[in-house]
Structure 1
Amino acid sequence: MAETFAPVVLHAPVGALIARRDFGVDDPEILRAIALHTTGAPHMDRLAMIVFLADYCESGRHFVGVDEVRSLLFSSLETAMLRALEQTLLYLRQNCRPIDRHTLDAMTAFSRLAEEDSQRLHQG
C-alpha cells in the first residue's frame, strides 16, 4: 500500500505492522483484517469483512447511507460490503479525494459476486 494515492488509509497497514511488532499478533487472518479495514480488497474472508464493516458502521459515524449498511449487516456481509464500497467511492469521487486501488478492486470483486448471486437466484 506504500504506493497509494490516499495516504489517509495508511494507518490500516501500519496498524497491522504495529500489531505484529508490538503486540505479538501473528495470525495472518487478523493481520490482514487490520490491514484492509480502510480499503477493502477482493477475496476478503469473513473476519476481514466484519472488521471493515465494524469500522465503517461504528456508532460515532453519522452520514447518509450508514443506516442502510447497518441494516444489511444482519442479512448479508457481502451485500453490506458492496453497499459500503459503493458509498465510499461515491463520496470520494464527489469530493475529489484520492481513491486507493484496493478499494476499486474490492468494488469490482463484490459487484461480480452480487451479479453471480443474482444469476443463481434467477436460474433456481
Structure 2
Amino acid sequence: MQITQDDLAALHHLRAHWAGGPDAARSSETLAHYPGRAEGRVAAWAYGRTVKALSRHARRRLHIGEGLVPSADERAVLRIARLLGQRDWTGAESAAAWVVRRDGVAPLLDALAPAACAAYGNALPRRKRAATA
C-alpha cells in the first residue's frame, strides 16, 4: 500500500488520539480548524471513538505510534479508513475483520467513518443498518 499525504494526516491524528492526553488535545484543536470547525470536531470525536473501538475489540495487542514507519496495524487501519472514504463498506468490513473480532467490526466502522471521510475529502456515506426486532 502506497502511503499518501491523506494517509499521513489520518495516521498523525490516530496516533495522537491513541497516545491520549495533550497529544489528543492538540490533534482535536488542529482538526477544529481544518477541514472546518463542525466537520473537524466530528472527526476529532471519531478518532477518539475509533481508539476506544480498537482497544475494546482488537484481536491482539496493536502496535500504534511505535516508530517512524507505519506499523502493519497502522497500515491495516489506514486501509479500512481509505475504503470507508471511498464508500466501500463491504471492503472495509472485510479489512476490519482482520483487525478486530467479529463483534467489533460494526463499532469500528461506525466510529472511523466520519474521520475517514474527513481525511479523504468525501461526504459521510449512508450505511444500511440491519433491522432489529
TM-score in same-fold range (> 0.5): no
TM-score, normalised via structure 2 length: 0.30
